[in-house]
Structure 1
Amino acid sequence: MSRSPYPPGANFKPAEDYRRLRRIIAEDSDWSLAIVPCLSTLCLQSIMRNFEESPIFEVLTPIQKDFVHDGLSTSLPLNVTANLISDGVFWKRCCEQRWDLCNVSHYNHSWKRMFFERHMENTIELFIPDVTETKTVLEMIPLCKNYVKRLDISQLLPPVKEPQKEEEEYGLDLAGENEYDRPSMDHFDFNILLKRLTKLEELHLAYRVKQCGMNFEWKMFEMTDRDCESLAKALKSCRTLKLLRLYESHIEDKKCRLLVKHLLDHPSLRELDFSHNLIGDKGARAVAKLLTRSKLETLNMSDNGVSDMGAKAIAHALSKNSTLLSLNLRLNRLKDEGGQALGKALLNNNTLLHLHLGGNEVTGQTAIALAKVIAQNNTLKSVNLSCNILGVDGGKALEEAMSYNTSVTECDIRLTEVDEQSVSFINQVVWTNQSEEEKRLANESKTKKT
């Protein structure tokens, strides 16, 4: 008979005592069965480590894709991730790692769109003619063309200025040599890009250098003739463009006319912004022609050199136009001849909602002409005549007209030398119209919901 290994009188079963005495001593003191990843996780981690060589994504389940989004390296080449990784956490991580400010609401809440638009913008803004290879842009187009809808280019760099040769310093430079030494482009050539961006709807563009330092030259802040020719052709080829904003680029009449020539009969252009340039009457006449051969809804020509002749041309086009909703001629050189022409044109126009003539040289005569419009036209929503010398008579005319108006919800007559009593009455009518407009919109909203 075998002898029991347990002491006499023990009150526990042999099997339980065996489990209590058993011990596992691991080499890793932090090891625990709870932290051992499951096989599927190990497989996904292997996919992420080898993603560049063997990109596997579409066959994964939604939960597995989310896991990959969270852990995939943001340094992977774009030719691997661009057309494979869908919008989501991965592109959010890419954006937040690269830029401090990331407001995705400006990109229709698409992180992928934000990344590719800002990536393209940075590439163009740092492009140096004859130094940066154009293939860096061309190779990117197939990767981002489905996601880029807006480009906001706030800087365009000129070619690198070569140091003067010894012969030039002594006045021995030959005229023919300058032609051969001329760079192939003065700034980035948009002709190689815009026709390939098939989803582009907005282009904001300024020919300037943001941080020129002690190397300042005026030519850093202007579009050259060659730039204008290439951009004009590029704009014509971009059939999806809805908004063009070309500002602070030293555009004068010649360049404006060339740009407009290529925008005539554009199928999708709805908003044109040529503000803060040097456009005069000849350029304004070209823009007036565009109003008759396009479907523009917004035209901004503020801070240019348009005077009465240009304003009269725009007014003539406006009298026949049925699409323009907003016209901004702030900070130009309009006098009463141009202002009265615009007022007369609006008597035959039932489309324009917003008119801005602030900061010109119009007087009470223009105010009287516009007063007739305000009294008869119930389409116009806002009129801005600020910083003009309208005087007491102009104010009285506007006051009387506003007493018949129910549509104007903004009438800016600050700094116009209008009598305070007229200003008070006009503001009261504007406030009443605003209240009625809010009620109307609220009722329409309730009707739609029901």
Structure 2
Amino acid sequence: MSKSPYPTGSNLKPPEDCRKTRRIIAEDPDWSLAIVPFLSNLCLQSIVRNFEEKPIFEELTPNQRDFIQERLSTSLPLCVTANLISDGVYWKRCCEQQWDLCDVSHYGHSWKRMFFERRMESIIELFIPDVTEPETVLEMVPLCKNYIKRLDISQLLPPVKEPQKEEEEHGSDLASENEYDRPSMDHFDFSILLDKLTSLEELHLVYRVKQCGMNFEWKMFEMTDRDCESLAKALKSCKTLKLLRLHQSHIEDKKCRLLVKYLLDHPSLRELDFSHNLIGDRGARAIGKLLTRSKLKVLNVCDNDIRDPGAKAIAHALSKNSTLLSLNLRLNRLRDEGGRAIGKTLLNNNTLRHLHLGGNKVTGPTAIALSKVLAQNNTLKSINLSCNNLGEDGGKALEEAMSDNTSVTECDIRLTEVHEQVVSFINQVVWTNQSLERKKQAQQKKTK
């Protein structure tokens, strides 16, 4: 027998017993093998840390991309992220960091579109001619041109007004020359931008200055002739534009005619809004020409100065037009001559669905002319004659026409001096037609 290496009577135990009683105390009491990060996660974290120097994104799986988007810094240069990071959590984080209100439903539920549209809007609204460098705008174009579909510009700043220098004794040639010095542009020049935004579909513009305070001048709230010419040429070059809204900008006949000149035969324009301006009959004639040369579906010239000659021009254009669905002439001055011209045209127009003639100083003769339309035209869905003095005769004519009408689902004759019983009857017919329309739509959905 082999002898034990330990002396007899010794308290020492074999090595096996030592291992059984050994204790390891971790520095982190919460540490466990279960929370050791995967190697793949460590690699992704390294990508996040070094993204600006070495961006890696397209090669990753969808789950890995989500991991990256949730952790990337929102302060990364746009030249790195704009055309690399797809729409998702990253752009949502960028939007919520910059703006308190972020309703993505107004941007086709695209966070990336929201970010770039609002960023470009902000740059344009703060652009000061001859102070802000055009490169501030142009350097954004390659980064955002594929994502901007709508621009809603709520202000346009004029150039900085230089303080007048005191004239030297006996006058100064330099001072006299300064009187003729003008800035290169009166507001932002859209000709440098619109042709480059290849996805732009809607443009909303207001020439005004918000929060001008004690520096108020009327010039801050109008488009100048130079602005108009520059914008008109830019609009022609923007082949993808579908909607143009240019309101509250002091547009009169001359500017309207120039804008229309460049919009004739526009390939994609479908909606035009020149509301709340100063357009008169000459401008209305130009708009009538546009109706014969374009494929407009919606025209809004509400709150202008169009009278019966302008209304006749628009009516004549409607007789040749087969695309316009909605016409808004509210708050003009058509009177009965213009109103009857519109009514006569609609007897042969089978396209227009919505007509607004509210607040146009029309009376009974216009109501009688339109009653013939309601009796014969099955295309018209809504008509608004509110805030006119139609009188009893006009009310009776409308009542008789509506008694056999099954297509009109809106007929507004409030504040028209029409008897209450007539109003009640017409409302009842409208409600019946609305019910029939809903049933018809429900049946169409079932058949689909």
TM-score (norm 2): 0.95
CA distance in 1, matches of 2:183, 2:347: 52
Amino acid at match of 1:130: D
**CA deviation string 1:171-222 (max 9, x = no partner):** 868554233x311111000000000011110000100011111111110000
CA distance in 2, matches of 1:5, 1:286: 121
Matches within 5 A, 1:201-240: 201-240=201-240
Tell me which residue corresponds to 1:293: 293
Tell me which residue corresponds to 1:279: 279
CA distance in 2, matches of 1:39, 1:168: 78
Change (3 A) 1:169 1:322: farther
Change (3 A) 1:6 1:351: farther
Change (3 A) 1:7 1:98: farther
Amino acid at match of 2:443: N
> How far off is 1:14 after superposition?
8.0
CA distance in 2, matches of 1:333, 1:6: 123
Tell me the secondary structure at the aligned position of residue 166 of structure 1.
coil
Tell me which residue corresponds to 2:440: 440
> How far off is 1:413 after superposition?
0.2
> How far off is 1:22 after superposition?
1.7
Tell me the secondary structure at the aligned position of residue 303 of structure 1.
coil
Tell me which residue corresponds to 2:185: 185
Change (3 A) 1:3 1:91: same
CA distance in 2, matches of 1:389, 1:47: 72
CA distance in 1, matches of 2:389, 2:378: 26
> How far off is 1:48 after superposition?
1.1
Change (3 A) 1:351 1:15: farther
**CA deviation string 1:224-278 (max 9, x = no partner):** 0000000000000001100000011000000000000000000100000000001
Tell me the secondary structure at the aligned position of residue 305 of structure 1.
coil
Tell me which residue corresponds to 1:38: 38
Tell me which residue corresponds to 1:313: 313
> How far off is 1:400 after superposition?
0.2
**CA deviation string 1:351-381 (max 9, x = no partner):** 0000000011100110000000000001000
In the alignment, structure 1 residue 163 sits paired with structure 2 residue 166? no
CA RMSD of aligned residues (A): 2.2
Change (3 A) 1:171 1:290: farther
Tell me which residue corresponds to 2:145: 145
In the alignment, structure 1 residue 411 sits paired with structure 2 residue 431? no
Tell me which residue corresponds to 1:423: 423
> How far off is 1:33 after superposition?
4.1
CA distance in 2, matches of 1:427, 1:169: 77
> How far off is 1:49 after superposition?
1.3
Matches within 5 A, 1:34-183: 34-167=34-167, 174-179=175-180, 181-183=181-183
CA distance in 1, matches of 2:401, 2:10: 114
Amino acid at match of 1:177: N
Q: Check the 8 A contact 2:167/2:175 in 1, yes or no.
A: no
**CA deviation string 1:370-428 (max 9, x = no partner):** 00000000100000000000011110000000012110000000000101111111011
Change (3 A) 1:15 1:208: farther
Q: Check the 8 A contact 2:225/2:255 in 1, yes or no.
A: yes
Aligned length: 443
Change (3 A) 1:17 1:385: farther
Change (3 A) 1:270 1:171: farther
Matches within 5 A, 1:326-337: 326-337=326-337
Q: Check the 8 A contact 2:284/2:306 in 1, yes or no.
A: yes
TM-score (norm 1): 0.94
CA distance in 1, matches of 2:249, 2:124: 16
CA distance in 2, matches of 1:136, 1:232: 23
Amino acid at match of 2:427: N
Tell me which residue corresponds to 1:394: 394
> How far off is 1:24 after superposition?
2.9
Tell me which residue corresponds to 2:194: 194
> How far off is 1:444 after superposition?
0.2
> How far off is 1:47 after superposition?
1.2
Tell me which residue corresponds to 2:269: 269
Change (3 A) 1:4 1:325: farther
> How far off is 1:166 after superposition?
1.1
Tell me the secondary structure at the aligned position of residue 414 of structure 1.
coil
Matches within 5 A, 1:380-391: 380-391=380-391
CA distance in 2, matches of 1:296, 1:73: 45
CA distance in 1, matches of 2:422, 2:8: 113
Amino acid at match of 1:23: I
Tell me the secondary structure at the aligned position of residue 167 of structure 1.
coil
For structure 1, which segment, 186-195 or 98-107, has the greater mean C-alpha deviation from structure 2 after superposition?
98-107
CA distance in 1, matches of 2:8, 2:342: 113
CA distance in 2, matches of 1:87, 1:168: 62
Tell me which residue corresponds to 1:24: 25
CA distance in 2, matches of 1:443, 1:217: 58
Tell me the secondary structure at the aligned position of residue 105 of structure 2.
helix
CA distance in 2, matches of 1:202, 1:15: 82
Change (3 A) 1:406 1:6: farther
CA distance in 1, matches of 2:8, 2:134: 86
Change (3 A) 1:352 1:171: farther
Unaligned runs of 5+ in 1: none
Tell me the secondary structure at the aligned position of residue 179 of structure 2.
helix
CA distance in 2, matches of 1:19, 1:191: 83
